[in-house]
Structure 1
Amino acid sequence: MVNGLSDTSSRHVRSAHANGAGGASGATSLTRRRFGAALLAVAVTATLAAPPARAQSAPPVVVDFDWVDPARSRPVPARLHWPADVAPGSRVPLIVFSHGLGGSRRGYSYLGRYWSARGVASLHVQHAGSDSSLWAGNPLAVVDRLQRAAHESEALARALDLRFALDRMLSSPHGAHVDRRRIMAAGHSYGANTALVAVGARVMRYGKWVEARDPRFAAAIVISAPPFYGEPDLASVLSRITVPTLHVTATKDVIQIPGYYSPAADRLEVFNAIATPRKLLAVFEGGSHSIFTDRSFTGGPALNPKVKLATAELTLAFLDLVFDGNGATLARWNVTWQPMLASAPGAAPSPLPVAQSRRVAQGVATGLVPSP
Structure 2
Amino acid sequence: MTESMTAAAEPGLGEPTPVVSVKPVVLPAPGRGEDLRVRVSAPVSGRELPIIVFSHGYGWSLEGYGPLVDFWTAHGFAVIQPTHLDSRTLNIPPDDPRTPLIWRFRVEDLKRVIDELDLVEAAVPGLAGRLDRSRVAVAGHSWGGQTASMLLGARILDSDGRPGEDLSDPRVKAGVLLSTPGLGGDDLTPFAVENLPFMDPDFADMTTPALVVAGDKDDSPLTVRGPDWFADPYSASPGGKSLLTLFGGEHSLGGIPGYTVTETTDESPERVAALQRLTWAYLRSALYSGDTAWDEARAAFTASPDPLGSIESK
TM superposition score category, shorter chain reference = 0.7 to 0.9
Aligned to 2:182, the other structure's residue is in SS state: coil
The amino acid that maps onto 1:370 is S
Deviates more, 1:95-104 or 1:159-168: 159-168
* Structure 1 length-normalised TM: 0.67
Correspondent of 2:244 among 267, 271, 282: 282
Verify: 1:127 aligned to 2:84, yes or no.
yes
Structure 1 position 182 matched with structure 2 position 135: yes
User: Are 2:258 and 1:294 aligned?
Assistant: yes
Q: Does 1:209 align with 2:164?
A: yes
**Structure 1's 156 and 121: CA in aligned 2 closer, same or farther, altered over 3 A?**
same
Contact 2:155 2:163 in 1 (8 A): no
**CA, structure 1 residues 317+55, in 2 after alignment: closer, same or farther (shift >3 Å)?**
closer
Query: What residue identity is the alignment partner of 1:331?
Result: E
Percent of residue pairs identical: 26
Cα drift, residue 310 of structure 1: 0.9
Closer, same or farther: CA 111–209 of 1 in aligned 2, 3 Å: same
How do residues 1-372 of structure 1 correspond to structure 2 at under 5 angstroms?
6-9=10-13, 53=14, 56=17, 59-64=18-23, 65-86=25-46, 90-128=47-85, 130-133=86-89, 151=100, 153-171=101-119, 172-173=121-122, 174=127, 176-205=129-158, 209-230=164-185, 237-256=202-221, 260-261=222-223, 263-275=226-238, 277-290=239-252, 291=254, 292-294=256-258, 296=260, 298-301=264-267, 304-322=268-286, 323-336=288-301, 338=304, 339-342=306-309, 367-371=310-314
Greater gyration radius: 1
Q: Is the 8 A contact 1:314 1:330 kept in 2?
A: no
Contact 1:2 1:336 in 2 (8 A): no
- SS, match of residue 240 in structure 1: coil
| Aligned pairs, number | 282
* CA deviation map 1:102-161 (0-9, x unaligned): 111110011111011111111011101x11248x69xxx8xx579x85x4x211110000
CA contact 1:284–1:340 (8 Å) conserved in 2: no
Higher relative contact order, chain-length normalized (CA < 8 Å, sep 6+): 1
The residue aligned with 1:25 is none
Aligned Cα root-mean-square deviation (Å) = 3.1
Unaligned stretches of 5+ residues in structure 1: 10-52, 343-366
| Offset of residue 316 of structure 1 | 1.6
Q: Deviations over 1:26-48 (max 9, x none)?
A: xxxxxxxxxxxxxxxxxxxxxxx
Give 1:190 shift.
0.1
The whole-number CA distance in structure 2 between the counterparts of 1:245 and 1:230 is: 24
1:171-208 deviations in Å (ceiling 9; x for gaps): 43346321122100100000000000112111343778
Query: Could you tell me which residue of structure 2 aligns to residue 33 of structure 1?
Result: none
Is the contact between residue 101 and residue 191 of structure 1 (CA under 8 Å) also seen in structure 2?
yes
